[in-house]
Structure 1
Amino acid sequence: MWHLLAPIFGCLAQYASAHGGAVNYTVGDTWYPGYDPYAPQEAQDLADWMPQRKWTTNEPIFQPSNLSLACNFPGTPARASIPITAGATITAVYYSWVHTVGPMVAWMAHCGADCRALDASAAAWFKIGEKGLQAGDIETGDWFQKTFSRWDGAPSLWSERVPAALRPGKYLIRHEIISLHSANKPQWYPECAHLEVKGQGEGFPGEEYLAKIPGVYSMDQPEINIDIYAPEVASRTEYKIPGPPVWTG
């Protein structure tokens, strides 16, 4: 099993000093490793068991047009894939997540024959889940990102379901946190992993569900170029997550 074969890199304390990212995944009772940007890179780059695309810093991306927005920097393809049956849940595990305001979006993209050959910035992405403002106002309300943040040393867990109707194949999954705590300076934190989806589904999202990353966000969007502390914004009780609707199959 993967959790027996894959070494655990680094130390959780490394994540406490800055921001964060998806450091591993679980499907059912099986654990799959993520890339550790603070561990020796060569061993991870050559690892046949690594399903997550390479990322080298947990610092944010600030530009919505940055090519690294797709799968972080450098986004080098992984050598392995996480097997999952359509309809099952995958959980991304984070440590020391400290921000509390902004949406969280899970995306997938079909790779074709091989995810290792896919340029993520040219892929057609579709949402499988999104979590935003759950109650209260924009500045101080109950965002899922606030609930997601843990201060007791426990991991932060983000679970999403792969649509049961999705046709089998090779896919990227992309977990993206957008933090809006800095006025008019959004921060993106994306990571991608390779999936091998199995099942009997025949569905696939239509054009109205698809988007390019970068391309789906811009500083012209008031939900992105936002000052959550401005009086006319802070007291609002609704926040529309940009991009296409979620495809549930």
Structure 2
Amino acid sequence: MLFSSVLSVFALAVTSVSAHGYVSELKANGKTYKGPVAGGAKIQSPIRQISTTSPWKDVNGPGMTCGRGSQNAALVAPVTAGSTVELKWVDHPGTNWQHNMGPLITYMAKVPAGQTADKFNAAQGNFFKIAQAGQTGKSWVQASLMKGSSHSVTIPKELENGDYIMRHEIIALHLANNKGGAEFYTSCIQLRVTGGVSKMSVSPTAKFPGGYSASDPGIFTPKIFDGGFKYSFPGPAMPKFSSSGAASVKTSNNSSSTNANVQSNTNSGSVKSKCRRAISGWTSRMEKRFIGAPAAAPAAQ
């Protein structure tokens, strides 16, 4: 009885006080770029600004491209093919990311010749995956962001030189046991790749919106709290780059990427055990956020 009551309170808290976030920092080629605060002042950055940190839920809506109300950024960050970039997510300035269930997926789209990334309409981009991170061991990779960790992504060394849009997203699945419950947090970064190859093509690709369906197994996850649940990443399969610069396709979208090197199986265990841990973590964070520290201004929904 007590457990059921606590679960009810927890469910109410999740739906009424949802966490949000944006990419606050990019590290590339030894340089650190600050990301613009959602809905805040414009700054010189290669990270496209979003209008609010509220989650996007419509897989067919414009927020799937680069986030809610995104605007082109002023800078294009140089990055070397084969190098690693780091992206830091926060809930709001000074507060770590708040979710811990769901994948981090990174795409890139080549900007056509004659255009630059700071002017390119990302909705026209043909995006291919370069990394996808699900779970490792008994926890989701996303959970590391709650500790203030950055997420690292390797730029494929086989990329053609030129401008690209990197589309980096978190899909929060804590409510995705109901259709339409998945929350999309998407950020676009404007990059200029050097040190790559002179010519290449990549497939498969996808456009956003259009790359996902609300019923995709990796977006609607009714059994996510069941022991032995196996996660399937949504979207096109991960390309496998060859030394010639062409790209072939991996046959499965269930395995971890070579970039992320993580497992896609969820940890086993009872639903009650998982819920108790989630309740404990949520309660602790909410106490710190709303009792022990000044509350941030609420984001528009």
Q: Secondary structure at the match of 1:121?
A: helix
Matches of 2:78 and 2:145, distance apart in 1: 25
Q: Which residues of structure 1 form unaligned runs of 5+?
A: 1-16, 136-140
Q: In the alignment, is the contact (CA less than 8 A) between 2:29 and 2:78 conserved in 1?
A: no
| Corresponding position: 1:191 with 2:192 | no
Q: In the alignment, is the contact (CA less than 8 A) between 1:165 and 1:202 conserved in 2?
A: no
Q: CA deviation at 1:109?
A: 0.8
Q: In the alignment, is the contact (CA less than 8 A) between 1:133 and 1:238 conserved in 2?
A: no
Cα deviations across residues 206-238 of structure 1 (Å, max 9, x unaligned)?
Answer: 33x2111111111121321123456xxx12342
Match of 1:245 among 237, 244, 253: 237
Equivalent residue, structure 2, for 1:6: none
Match of 1:166 among 155, 159, 163: 159
Q: Secondary structure at the match of 1:156?
A: coil
Residues 56/228 of structure 1: CA separation in 2 closer, same or farther (3 Å cut) = farther
Q: Could you list the runs of 4 or more consecutive aligned residues of structure 1 that deviate by over 6 angstroms after TM superposition? A: none
Q: CA deviation at 1:205?
A: 4.2
Equivalent residue, structure 2, for 1:99: 99
Q: In the alignment, is the contact (CA less than 8 A) between 1:21 and 1:58 conserved in 2?
A: yes
Equivalent residue, structure 1, for 2:246: none
Residues 116/38 of structure 1: CA separation in 2 closer, same or farther (3 Å cut) = closer
Q: TM-score, normalized by length of structure 1?
A: 0.79
1:1-249 to structure 2, matched below 5 A, reads: 18-40=19-41, 44=42, 47=43, 49-95=44-90, 96-112=96-112, 113-135=115-137, 141-150=138-147, 155-182=148-175, 183-184=177-178, 185-202=181-198, 204-207=200-203, 209-228=204-223, 234-249=226-241
For 1:236, the aligned partner's letter is G
Matches of 2:194 and 2:142, distance apart in 1: 30
Cα deviations across residues 158-195 of structure 1 (Å, max 9, x unaligned)?
Answer: 11011001010000111100011013200000011100
Number of aligned residues = 215
Equivalent pairs: percent with the same residue? 29
Q: CA deviation at 1:143?
A: 1.2
Residues 206/78 of structure 1: CA separation in 2 closer, same or farther (3 Å cut) = same
Q: TM-score, normalized by length of structure 2?
A: 0.66
Q: CA deviation at 1:30?
A: 1.3
Q: Secondary structure at the match of 1:70?
A: helix
Matches of 1:194 and 1:97, distance apart in 2: 23
Q: In the alignment, is the contact (CA less than 8 A) between 2:75 and 2:118 conserved in 1?
A: no
Q: In the alignment, is the contact (CA less than 8 A) between 2:56 and 2:64 conserved in 1?
A: yes
Matches of 2:19 and 2:235, distance apart in 1: 28
Q: CA deviation at 1:248?
A: 5.0
Residues 229/115 of structure 1: CA separation in 2 closer, same or farther (3 Å cut) = closer
Q: CA deviation at 1:197?
A: 0.6
Q: CA deviation at 1:121?
A: 1.7
Q: In the alignment, is the contact (CA less than 8 A) between 1:169 and 1:196 conserved in 2?
A: yes
Q: In the alignment, is the contact (CA less than 8 A) between 1:98 and 1:149 conserved in 2?
A: yes
Q: In the alignment, is the contact (CA less than 8 A) between 2:101 and 2:140 conserved in 1?
A: yes
Q: In the alignment, is the contact (CA less than 8 A) between 1:97 and 1:156 conserved in 2?
A: no
Matches of 2:163 and 2:73, distance apart in 1: 12
Matches of 1:92 and 1:74, distance apart in 2: 20
For 2:150, the aligned partner's letter is L
Q: CA deviation at 1:20?
A: 1.3
Moved more, 235-244 or 105-114: 235-244
